A = this chain, B = another copy of it.
């Protein structure tokens, strides 16, 4: 497999990029005309760390790499624009396999209006995909950082949580005893293999006055901690208010874990955690519903220098990965 051949094969399959891309794949650099401001994020997934080829089809690997990157743009409230893909190709991945992976990314790119505008391919001892995405907005004020939450703001979350963690357990065969309807199982598996970047929801929340926003990639506890630290406030979250995806409770029972551990302690749900002035919540809920999703209030911001308080219904302690729980 030659690097040039693979790039040529990919290039031949790509649709013409939109009007913003003046020079696409195949030159020293892609040339774009951004217009307003850009939001740029990079995200890498590595075999044996973020996925196993045994339980993840190649097209799902490409799609998920792009989804995770686009989710960061969703969390800014940016409109997706261009994506640039770096592929590390191990000796046992042949050209059709590479194209399958790239087509997974291209499928999501087409669905989200993202132009695959460039890339690089290298041999590597281990499969990895590094994705750079560029989003757009008319002005910086249209975008939402992690740093603007104020005491008194409501803490909200889009959609349902815990599905990605439960889906992973099903894919790895750990939750075989959970007796669930086929459509619930499919939805859980899809949550892990085909995560949806909440781009429309992110733009709706930004337009509704969100003061701070982050996507749930590392887990609710850790991600809430980032907002708390950057905003210089404290987040109090009522875990009994978390919206659980159908089937998460049953999978948790089957593997001997607590449903809230899957929903709050593990990541990859790629829903959005947004802080909003209390008076903006109704408007935001309506805007998110317009985008086809739900918005739940799960807590509030209080004065304090960072930190998150997670209140569990029973008063029990949650195991939250990557996050130091505050007890007070």
Contact = CB atoms under 8 A, between A and B. Distances in A.
A295 to B, nearest CB: 18
B42 A32 contact: no
A304 B283 CA distance: 63
A288 B274 CA distance: 52
A265 interface: no
Residue of A30, A122, A126, A132 ringed by the most chain B CB atoms within 10 A: A132
A134 B45 CA distance: 22
- The prevalent SS among residues of A at the interface is strand
A43 B214 CA distance: 28
Nearest to A38: B32
A319 B28 CA distance: 25
A200 interface: no
Contacts of A259: none
Most chain B Cβ neighbours within 10 Å, of A134, A135, A143, A214: A134
A215 to B, nearest CB: 7
B88 A46 contact: yes
A28 B215 contact: yes
A110 B140 CA distance: 25
B49 A145 contact: no
A146 interface: yes
Give the copy number: 2
Given A28-B215, A33-B140, A40 B134 contact: yes
Contact of A44 (B4, B30, B130, B147): B130
A130 B40 contact: no
Contacts of A213: 28
Nearest to A50: B122
A29 B118 contact: no
Contacts of A55: none
A125 interface: yes
A30 B34 CA distance: 14
A43 B121 CA distance: 8
A207 to B, nearest CB: 17
Interface in A2-18: 2, 4
Nearest to A133: B29
A140 B31 contact: yes
A76 interface: yes
A39 B82 CA distance: 12
8 contacts: A4-B322, A26-B146, A28-B76, A31-B143, A46-B88, A46-B124, A124-B126, A130-B130
